[in-house]
Amino acid sequence: MPTLKLTIEYDGARFVGWQVQPNGPSVQQALVDAIEKLCGERLRVTGAGRTDAGVHARGQVVSISPVKELPLKAWTAGLNALLPETVACVSAETAPEGFDARRWARGKRYVYTLKLSPVRSPLWSARAWELRRQVDVAAMQQALGHFIGTHDFSSLRAADCPAKTTVRTMSRLSIDADARADGVWHVSVEATAFLKHMVRNLVGTLVDVGIGKRTPESMAALLAARDRTLAGPTAPPHALVFDEVFYLPGNADPYANPGALDEDDADA
Amino acid sequence: MPTLKLTIEYDGARFVGWQVQPNGPSVQQALVDAIEKLCGERLRVTGAGRTDAGVHARGQVVSISPVKELPLKAWTAGLNALLPETVACVSAETAPEGFDARRWARGKRYVYTLKLSPVRSPLWSARAWELRRQVDVAAMQQALGHFIGTHDFSSLRAADCPAKTTVRTMSRLSIDADARADGVWHVSVEATAFLKHMVRNLVGTLVDVGIGKRTPESMAALLAARDRTLAGPTAPPHALVFDEVFYLPGNADPYANPGALDEDDADA
């Protein structure tokens, strides 16, 4: 029984999110259905990240353990023929036994896109949060340093976040101008794991800094307070892309290594 | 009677193209209608480029000469309230008397996006031409030099291209990898003016080089032949963006300068 690692891209606009839910189509359900059609097995499909309604993915990773053995190319070609247009299987690899896309992940990157312009943008409206007012990106950039490193991120978690622990390590956080589109900025966040709505609450808080509602220096006190009600609004989901998941080389088992950290992950 | 220069962005997916046509909604018609609602005048709306059905614009420029005088901010705010969601007025400026968005343009840039990946891409399908096969970008890059400079571009014009002259000067032509998305490449073309379908025929021909159907060296003979039937296919429109129009400083009249070139422009 092989274990497979599938990399999945999707346009989240018309999904209720990654996870199977009673109120509409989920990406996970689309995968369960396509896999069943391909190999005749109704499998457990574990995703590395539980993205919310409207959030996109360029590099969601899922693990499955089918009984049936198919060539890897049959997995990608078969799934891409069976999945809806808005979901694609980018690659299929064999993974070590026991590989779990979520638990074995050592880190993830999310990218959030802002469009800063006084007028609306037909070419970016579906993929960027349009802020039609003065935004001080330099102030936002000054705020970033407060979040980098290991912190208790309780102030940025959703009220219903199920995670048991709230300490996460944010290894990178940057805001960069798009090379091709005026006024388009990408907030890129890498961390060991995320709390529910953590990226969107972070972006909402950074935008508060950009519009002068908060100072960059106030971020330290915000984190120290560990109180969600003190942070900024949750940025809208349509501008967020789950970009990449990081594993050990060879998708190795991190728990075989005694130093491995098991942060429970509730997602962005 | 002021002359105005409006910069227009649009998602071309649901339009029959820039120009008013009997068979469906055009961007030009949307502007004529919104302008009439705003100032009560049914004006002639001249666009710098006649983009085809499905082609997008980030920087289309139009000139209008309304009798009514409104503050420039009222033009942008008013038009953005009245235009459909897929069209926006990015800026409004006063221009010198006689300013003609098309005839006074000294150059234009179009950007064409390719997605090179063996599998389909839900996040790029609406804005990139997906080529699901081996493509040699280095070979395409070798071909570029043959097009740069002043040439008779007859081999790249559409069969029904109305332009009287076919000599154009291509000042820049490049293919660059997208900084954020694997396998995404942007073909950027700047020229004094364009023949009908010239950019899309150029991209189709470059892709022929990329997939090994033509050599980079064969581009010289292709241009010299001045025969459309010898070039590659017309690349699909949905991946093309009319990016920017260049004018003299202060949008000055180029015909006041005796060296000015008046290339008739039939477009991409």
Our CA-based measurement puts residue B71 at a distance from the nearest CA of chain A, in whole angstroms, of 16
User: Got the DSSP string for A150-161?
Assistant: EEE-GGGS-TT-
**pTM of structure:** 0.94
The ipTM (two decimal places) reads 0.92
End of a domain among A38, A71, A104?
A: A104
Q: How far apart are CA A39 and CA A191, in angstroms?
A: 35
A86 lies in the same domain as A24: yes
Cβ pairs A/B, distance under 8 A: 61
A114 lies in the same domain as A240: yes
B90 lies in the same domain as B116: no
Name the burial class of residue B59, with classes exposed (0-12), middle (13-18) and buried (19+) by CB atoms within 10 angstroms of its CB.
buried
Q: Total structural domains in chain B?
A: 2
User: Got the DSSP string for chain B?
Assistant: --EEEEEEEE-GGGSSBSS-BTTB--HHHHHHHHHHHHHS-----EES--PBTT-EEEEEEEEE--SS---HHHHHHHHHHHS-TTEEEEEEEEE-TT--TTTT--EEEEEEEEEE-SS--TTTTTTSEEE-S---HHHHHHHHTTTSEEEE-GGGS-TT---S--EEEEEEEEEEE-SSSTTEEEEEEEES---TTHHHHHHHHHHHHHTTSS-TTHHHHHHHHT-GGGS-PPPPGGGEEEEEEE--GGG--GGGSTT---------
Determine, for residues B88 and A119 on separate chains, whether the beta-carbon distance falls below 8 Å.
yes
Is the confidence at residue A145, as pLDDT, over 60? yes
For residue B52, what are the contacts with CB-CB under 8 A and spacing of at least 6?
B17, B18, B197, B200, B237, B267, B268
Phi, psi (deg, nearest 5) at residue A138: -60, -40
Q: How far apart are CA A156 and CA A158, in angstroms?
A: 7
Please indicate, yes or no, if residue B266 is contained in any of the structural domains: no
Is the confidence at residue B162, as pLDDT, over 90? no
A18 lies in the same domain as A96: yes
Chain centroid to CA B128: 15
Question: Tokens 């979901």 — which residue?
Answer: A87
Question: Tokens 């709230």 — which residue?
Answer: A166
Show the domain range for B38: 3-104
| Contact (CB, 8 A) for A1 and A96 | no
Q: How far apart are CA B196 and CA B52, in angstroms?
A: 9
Please indicate, yes or no, if residue A37 is contained in any of the structural domains: yes
Determine, for residues A90 and B181 on separate chains, whether the beta-carbon distance falls below 8 Å.
no
> Mean pLDDT across chain B, nearest whole number?
94
Summarize the confidence of residues B135-152 as an average pLDDT: 97
Is the confidence at residue A260, as pLDDT, over 60? no
Q: Kind and range of the H or E element at A168?
A: strand A167-177
Please indicate, yes or no, if residue B63 is contained in any of the structural domains: yes
B115 lies in the same domain as B43: no
Q: How far apart are CA B71 and CA B61, in angstroms?
A: 19
Query: Residue B241's closest CA among B141, B129, B79, B136?
Result: B129
Catalytic residue numbers of B read 52
Q: Which residues of B touch A (CB under 8 A)?
A: 9-11, 56, 58, 76, 80, 85-91, 111, 117-123, 125, 179-181, 186, 241
Chain centroid to CA B174: 16
pLDDT digits (tens, 9 = 90+) for A82-140: 999 999 999 999 999 999 999 999 999 999 999 999 999 999 999 999 999 999 999 99
A124 lies in the same domain as A210: yes
Residues of B in contact with A125 (CB under 8 A): 85
Which of B89, B112, B180, B241 is most worth mutating to test chain A (most A CB atoms within 10 A of its CB)? B180
State the pLDDT at residue A261: 55
B88 lies in the same domain as B195: no
A16 lies in the same domain as A116: no
Please indicate, yes or no, if residue A186 is contained in any of the structural domains: yes
**Domain CATH code at residue B26:** 3.30.70.580
Query: Residue A185's closest CA among A117, A235, A234?
Result: A117
By three-state DSSP, how is residue A190 classified? strand
Phi, psi (deg, nearest 5) at residue A80: -65, -25
State the pLDDT at residue B268: 63
C-alpha separations of A29 from A2, A22, A84, B125 in Å: 21, 11, 11, 22
Residues of B in contact with A184 (CB under 8 A): none
Cβ–Cβ contacts within 10 Å for residue A71, how many? 10
pLDDT band at B2, cuts 50/70/90? Answer: confident
Is the confidence at residue A259, as pLDDT, over 90? no
End of a domain among B58, B80, B104?
A: B104
Residue of B nearest to A177 (CA): B179
Determine, for residues A9 and B179 on separate chains, whether the beta-carbon distance falls below 8 Å.
no
